[in-house]
Structure formats: structure tokens, C-alpha cells
Chain A
């Protein structure tokens, strides 16, 4: 196999909120901010849920009552550190075998100021040979066009 790795995604931002608020909003209140357009359910999403404890489920709820898993909580250290396991593969499918980590540090930078550092790593695992079809643009689109023509 190709052993080359793909560079992690790294983000850093300053939030004008206490460390406790930042941690709470990121975890328990994930539904407040999770982009509504990003889910893998089969119908519109109604809620993004992160169960706020170690091994807690991470999933979305949908209009038809269904739920779609995204991963789980690997490390839970309020209000400093959260590690989530992201198990959505390149085909936008939940894959229990896939482990990519999203590591989020919350660093107090004042009473009402928190530095949030996010790293999404192990991205080379997203491939699995399926990734190309999944893309909204690029090769995925090309293959979709062909599929439609071939049916």
C-alpha cells in the first residue's frame, strides 16, 4: 500500500468566551453550531448530538426519526481536551472500522478568552479506495455522470 501520509488539518481560533463555555458549547451544545448541510442521513437533519462523556455517541437525528452515526468520544477531559473519533469515510458513509481522530484543545487565554486548537489527523485512512466517488466536485461528479449514462 501507499505508505505516504496526508497532512493533518489544523485550525486555531480565539473565542471570546470562558474555557468552560467554549468546552460546553463545543460538546453539549454542538447542535447550536454544527452546519446543517453536513450530515450523512437520508433526509434532513434535525439535531446533531454528542453524548457528553467518555465513549459517548456522536450522531445526527433526522426528520424521519432515523439516526446516523458519525463517531464517538475517545477522550473526555472537561474543560481542556476532547478527542473525537470521526468515522465518516470518503464515501460519506459511517464505517465502524475507520478511525480518524479529531483532537480539540481548549486553552484558557483569559477569563473570557479561549484558544481553541483543532487537529483532524489520520486522513490518509479516508481513502480506502472509495474516496473518489464521494466528492461533490471533481472525479465524483465525473463518475456520477457516467453512472447516469450507464443505467
Chain B
């Protein structure tokens, strides 16, 4: 069983897939726009997209009849987790500082 990060690592081991991933980091795109400027065939692009999807690096949503590819929401969730921990740390420090200040205020 390989972990999801290993899978992502392997998926990005290919330069074309990295190029696709970088494109999608800028904005969500339909396959026709993903293929623009890449020196590989459309079927090859589709194959690369499949690998990226299986690695959970990107996801698809439908817009009319088109499939739009975008960076997986998990990336944003990871940032949320980071901030969540950040606020825990910060607020704990804030609590100590406020309580200490309160004590000093009461010391003549």
C-alpha cells in the first residue's frame, strides 16, 4: 500500500504532469486549454490528467458539457489546518500575556 504523498510524489515525477499541475495552480481549465502549449497529444494529456487525479492532486467538476480540471481542494484544507494550529498556539500565548499583564496591573 503506498501512501497518498508517495503517490503524489510519483505523479509529479513526470515533467509534463508537473507542467499541467503548474498550469492548474494558476486557474481551473478545460482539457483543451490544458493541452495548449504542451508538446504532447490530447490523448496523452488525458492520460496525464488521469494520473494526477488518481494521486488526488487535481479534481474535476462539470461546467455545462465541459470537464473543468482544478487543483484539489485538499490543498486549501491543508492551509486551513495550518492556520487552525497557528491560532491555537497564538491564543495560548495571548492568554498568558493577558493574565500576566492583569497581575502586573494589580501589583502596586
A: which residues have CB within 8 A of B? 1-2, 4, 6-7, 9, 11, 13, 15-18, 21-22, 24-26, 29, 32-35, 38, 90, 112, 114, 116, 118, 120, 123-124, 126-127, 129-139, 142-143, 145-146
Contact = CB atoms under 8 A, between A and B. Distances in A.
Contact of B75 (A9, A32, A135): A135
A118 B91 contact: yes
B90 A4 contact: no
A123 B71 contact: no
A24 B94 CA distance: 11
Nearest to A130: B25
Contacts of B26: 129
Per DSSP, are chain B's interface residues mostly helix, strand or loop, or mixed?
helix
B79 A131 contact: yes
B82 A29 contact: no
Per DSSP, are chain A's interface residues mostly helix, strand or loop, or mixed?
mixed
Interface in B54-108: 57, 61, 70-71, 73, 75-80, 82-84, 86-91, 93-99, 101-102, 105
Interface of B: 5, 8-9, 12-13, 18, 24-28, 57, 61, 70-71, 73, 75-80, 82-84, 86-91, 93-99, 101-102, 105
A11 B93 CA distance: 14
Given A135-B75, A139-B78, A9 B98 contact: no
Contacts of B9: 142, 145
A16 B102 contact: yes
B12 A143 contact: yes
A8 B102 CA distance: 30
